[in-house]
Amino acid sequence: MSDQGADAPAPDTPNGETPSGAPPVAIQLTDIVKRFPGVVANDGVDLTVRYGTVHAIVGENGAGKSTLMKTLYGAHKPDEGTIEVNGKVEVFHSPKDAIAEGIGMVFQAFMLAANLTVWENIVLGDEPGSRFSLDAGGARTRIRELGDQYGLEVDPDALISELGVGDKQRVEILKVLYRGAKILILDEPTAVLVPQEVDALFASLRELTAQGATIIFISHKLDEVLRHADAITVIRQGKTVGEIDDPSSVTSRELAEMMVGSELPTPETRESSVTDVDVLTLQHLTVANPESGARNLLDDVSFSVHRGEIVGIAGVEGNGQSELVNAIVGLADSTGTIVLDGRDVSHLPTRERRDSGIGYIAEDRQKDGLVMPFLLWENAALGHQHQAPYGKGPWFNVRGARTQTQTIVEQFDVRTPGINVPAFTLSGGNQQKLVVGREMTADPKVLVAAHPTRGVDVGAQAAIWDILRDARAAGLGTILISADLEELIGLSDRLLVMLRGRIVAEVDPASVTPAELGSYMTGATTGAH
């Protein structure tokens, strides 16, 4: 078993050009149909992937991308259609069959044992050596070789729990390469990465293809798809709706329109509704670093949000945005003052702050914003449980909660079979619409929206933008934190840039370009504050 990894993509893998000029086809899926009870997840999907290319598969949540990839990886069998690998029709009964054909999958959620080392994780299930002894030295050497070869250096003896997200992903990729995969499927590989890590990832993927590997990746970040993919397949409602061999021929807008099948709304806000009434004022807000001596996580931040205003916070992730949100909502110990609509709330606990009118859309809805096994009407009460119509003295008003949830579901277009289903049954976009609807119906004075459209499909994104705009017109003050610069520029009335816990610039979204914003965010340009 120890030498199985030896046929990982080698430099001499066929990468020759066909007479027509394009590389030969590595994977050909024809007319794939996959049905689940009540749903047709794939309804005639075609996919052609050529040797040595980085091929992107894009589509909305629920379009059938993951189902298709599971078919290719052998996790389930298609009901109709054929899979051809290297021109040969294959039937995969299990992922084992797929890996035998050189197809490996890197999942979005890491499947690593945190208390084992890198090499132990990589060989797990495919251990080198004899039945009674593990060839640890051989495994380490092999992993170092693979790492050197493809630019995926990881210390084989490091503990997984000590690694960052980028390194963990490298380990996942190495795991697949170790098993001899030549065709790698990556399910939303960049969802968990920060921008620098995204660049490093694609550099590694490039290196892999240069040495003969073929990469298929799923994404809904269209900019990154356009920047890094050699070819793109667009899937909508279980069907292939676009096959693009030259990504430079499309814009991300056209791609997005193909994904949703209709014209796309833009995040631009219409006429200004900003008033001069302060609804939230932050003065010298500071969150200390728990490690003594280190610089503050949030450092002396002061600004005001007016009624009817959206204040955008731009910044590379990890520059104090989360701490700012937590300090306002009362989830982090902070110094300085927070005045909400004329009342100092700095010393109030989270519950009283939220009850006095701070709406909160958490950065990670599944972790902080929803309770997955709770039914929708239980989730609708979350954070507002003491207020009408959810709370009634010490009692939980089940009937009131149900009625209110029904209203939220209808008003905010949460697509669900009913309100008596657990939250985990909904797609990401519908979960987020429930969260946004919940916060809006509580009639907040200020909304703290952290990445309100992260990981939702284009349709839900547009709906959430509309909700934020309407609330702004109705006089809501909003703090919008987002990694999507287009969203920030489009929605905000005013943009603040955060760097190392401080506000380093204030810019006018009407005149700033994403490139300029980017240089403020990295500290290349300073000033304007």
Cis peptide before 389 (omega within 30 of 0): yes
First and final C-alpha spacing in the chain: 62
Decide: 58 and 240 in contact? Cβ < 8 Å.
no
Is 266 a residue that touches other proteins (CB under 8 A)? no
Instruction: Cite the beta strand spans of 59-198 per DSSP E.
Output: 80-85, 88-90, 103-106, 183-187
Is 62 a residue that touches other proteins (CB under 8 A)? yes
Decide: 397 and 390 in contact? Cβ < 8 Å.
yes
Give least dist CB 404 to other proteins, A: 14
| Of 401 and 512, CB closest to other proteins | 401
| Of 230 and 378, CB closest to other proteins | 378
Is 142 a residue that touches other proteins (CB under 8 A)? no
Is 382 a residue that touches other proteins (CB under 8 A)? yes
Give least dist CB 326 to other proteins, A: 9
Residue 118 in 3-state DSSP?
helix
| Of 14 and 418, CB closest to other proteins | 418
Q: Which stretch binds other proteins (CB under 8 A): 10-18, 305-313, 370-378, 486-494?
A: 370-378
Is 360 a residue that touches other proteins (CB under 8 A)? yes
CA angle, 161 then 162 then 168, to 5°? 70
Site string for other proteins, 11-40 (x = CB under 8 A): -------------------------xxxxx
Is 416 a residue that touches other proteins (CB under 8 A)? yes
Query: Who contacts 235 (Cβ-Cβ below 8 Å, separation ≥6)?
Result: 45, 57, 58, 59, 63, 64, 65, 68, 241
Site string for other proteins, 423-442 (x = CB under 8 A): -xxxx--x------------
Is 131 a residue that touches other proteins (CB under 8 A)? no
Query: From the list 30, 335, 350, 406, which residue makes contact with other proteins (rule: CB under 8 A)?
Result: 350
| Of 348 and 483, CB closest to other proteins | 348
Instruction: Please tell me the distance from the alpha carbon of residue 380 to that of residue 409, in angstroms, as a whole number.
Output: 10
Residue 250 in 3-state DSSP?
coil
**Residue type present at position 393:** G
> Residue 264 gets which letter from DSSP?
P
Give least dist CB 392 to other proteins, A: 9
Site string for other proteins, 202-241 (x = CB under 8 A): ----------------------------------xx-xxx
Q: How far, in Å, are 254, 297, 462 from residue 262 at the CA level?
A: 10, 43, 12
Query: From the list 165, 388, 421, 510, which residue makes contact with other proteins (rule: CB under 8 A)?
Result: 421
Give least dist CB 106 to other proteins, A: 23
Encode 362-377: b = buried (16+ Cβ within 10 Å), e = exposed.
bbebeebbbeeeebbb
Q: Which stretch binds other proteins (CB under 8 A): 143-151, 272-280, 325-333, 477-485?
A: 325-333
Instruction: Cite the beta strand spans of 374-419 per DSSP E.
Output: 391-392, 395-396
Place of tokens 């050189």: 102
Residues in the site for other proteins, rule: CB under 8 A? 36-41, 62, 236-237, 239-242, 244, 249-250, 253-254, 257-258, 261-263, 329-331, 349-355, 360, 362, 367-374, 378, 381-383, 385-386, 391, 394-396, 398, 415-417, 421-422, 424-427, 430
